[in-house]
Chain A
Amino acid sequence: ETGVTQTPRHLVMGMTNKKSLKCEQHLGHNAMYWYKQSAKKPLELMFVYNFKEQTENNSVPSRFSPECPNSSHLFLHLHTLQPEDSALYLCASSQDIGQMNTEAFFGQGTRLTVV
């Protein structure tokens, strides 16, 4: 248990569906991240939020829409996904990007399958 909780743990959705991934951190951190991990590929940074403001959008397609209502919650809204979007989606948080030892703590991930 790292203090970062993701729901759901598994999700199967059709290409025309709309779903949302949720992440909640209980660590008092100010930065939150979405990463995508596909099979046999490195972790890909998708979005970064620092103090609720988006500071990084790593050229992610618009079918992925993040939302950060406060420093403890992060959502990833999904719509009209493609089968190649099937992957493990990991949420992480860190204390403050401006500090030196700003290690990221990961949630357990959501295993997404697009059919």
Chain B
Amino acid sequence: QKEVEQNSGPLSVPEGAIASLNCTYSDRGSQSFFWYRQYSGKSPELIMFIYSNGDKEDGRFTAQLNKASQYVSLLIRDSQPSDSATYLCAAASMYSSASKIIFGSGTRLSIRP
């Protein structure tokens, strides 16, 4: 069983619409969750992190966390062509002897003009 699962996509969204990206995780010990954006040929860059249940908003981005359902999502409002990229969900475990950040396989997002 994959520890962090994402739909690989591609997810195609018209410009100006809301893009919704989803992620589930299997390790209940995970306490922090991250969304990274990765453009082709580039390294991942952090968009948002969340560790409390509920919503967290930053500009056009909203991260949502539901620990009971082990579910994380990212909403991108007013999608722009520059948002086209692969979005990686990651979960961090805090155990001192096995601390690690595990990534999902990523969802490829395409914003069509």
Q: Does B112 interact with chain A (Cβ within 8 Å)?
A: no
Asked if residues B102 and A103 are in contact (CB atoms below 8 Å), the reply is no
Q: Does A76 interact with chain B (Cβ within 8 Å)?
A: no
Asked if residues A104 and B99 are in contact (CB atoms below 8 Å), the reply is no
Asked if residues B32 and A100 are in contact (CB atoms below 8 Å), the reply is yes
Q: Report which of A43, A55, A102, A108 forms a contact with B92, defined as CB distance below 8 A.
A: A102
Q: Does B96 interact with chain A (Cβ within 8 Å)?
A: yes
Q: Does B17 interact with chain A (Cβ within 8 Å)?
A: no
- Minimum CB–CB distance from B71 to chain A (whole Å) comes to 18
Q: A2-B45, A42-B105, A97-B94 are in contact. Are A104 and B34 (CB under 8 A)?
A: yes
Given contact pairs A45-B103, A55-B96, a sample of 17 additional A-B residue pairs in the complex whose CB atoms are under 8 Å apart: A2-B43, A42-B104, A42-B106, A43-B88, A43-B103, A45-B100, A58-B100, A92-B101, A101-B32, A101-B49, A101-B51, A104-B34, A104-B46, A104-B90, A106-B43, A108-B43, A109-B43
